[in-house]
Amino acid sequence: MGHFATFESRRGLLRLNLGFSLRRLTWRWVMASADASKRIVDVLGSLAALMVIGLPLIFIGALVRLDGGPVIFAQTRVGRHGREFKMFKFRSMRPNAEKYLAGLLAANQHGNGVTFKIKNDPRVTVVGHWLRRFSLDELPQFVNVLRGEMSLVGPRPPVPREVAQYSLADRRRLAVKPGLTCVWQISGRAEIDFPGQVRLDVNYIESQSLGQDLRILAKTPRAVVFGSGAY
């Protein structure tokens, strides 16, 4: 009986381990399939968008150039799992705007929070004001999506200065690729404080699906056109 009980115990343990392994492999396959589907949508969507907005991009670039300074502003941002990359934007501020940031922190619309948002930022150029109003300064980020550094939908990529202030809970935003648009950008944009952004981003991450991404993409043009919450 002792040998039989030992055999049954080992067989039960083997079944348990096999069950865990199968569930783990199934979960990995599901996640890999979801990542692959999301990547296909990102590539096809970005290529289609760049083909449609090619001429407007040239026109916007010319306006920014007439304003003085470089056309493209490449800023270091933090992506998935904390990897840094250069995010592209049409320049909307005067050159060397970063060095004036310290003097404006007291006017932060988000108080002493992690993120910095200010209405009527004196560093923003005339052309830059309208680019920001309709999120046109973000259009070069379709290139970041094609390069695989960003996705069409996901939490907006933070700057390293912000990430340095993240709590462990805040870092959950870095579990996925950052996006060109996200839940809170269609729900109030800069008017939503940082804790609210984290809450919406985490909810998105925990329930993300292709259908949800498509719904967010469908709602983004309306948010952009009406400029709700844009600074």
**DSSP-assigned beta bridge partners for residue 84:** 78
pLDDT band with cut points at 50, 70 and 90 for residue 27: very low
In the predicted model, is pLDDT for residue 184 greater than 60? Answer: yes
With a CB cutoff of 8 Å and minimum separation 6, the contacts of 118 are: 104, 107, 108, 109, 231
**Rounded to an integer, what distance in angstroms lies between the CA atom of residue 130 and that of residue 90?**
12
Cα dist. 35→40, 124, 153, 156, 158 in Å?
9, 37, 12, 18, 22
| Radius of gyration, alpha carbons of the chain | 22
Nearest to 38 by CA among 200, 173, 217: 217
Instruction: Supply the pLDDT for residue 68.
Output: 78
Cβ burial, residue 112 (10 Å; 0-12/13-18/19+): exposed
pLDDT digits (tens, 9 = 90+) for 125-140: 889 889 988 889 999 9
pLDDT at 29 over 90: no
- pTM of the entire predicted model: 0.78
* Maximal CA-CA distance, the chain: 90
Note the pLDDT tens digit of each residue in 84-141.
999 999 998 887 767 666 656 655 655 555 666 677 777 888 898 899 888 899 999 9
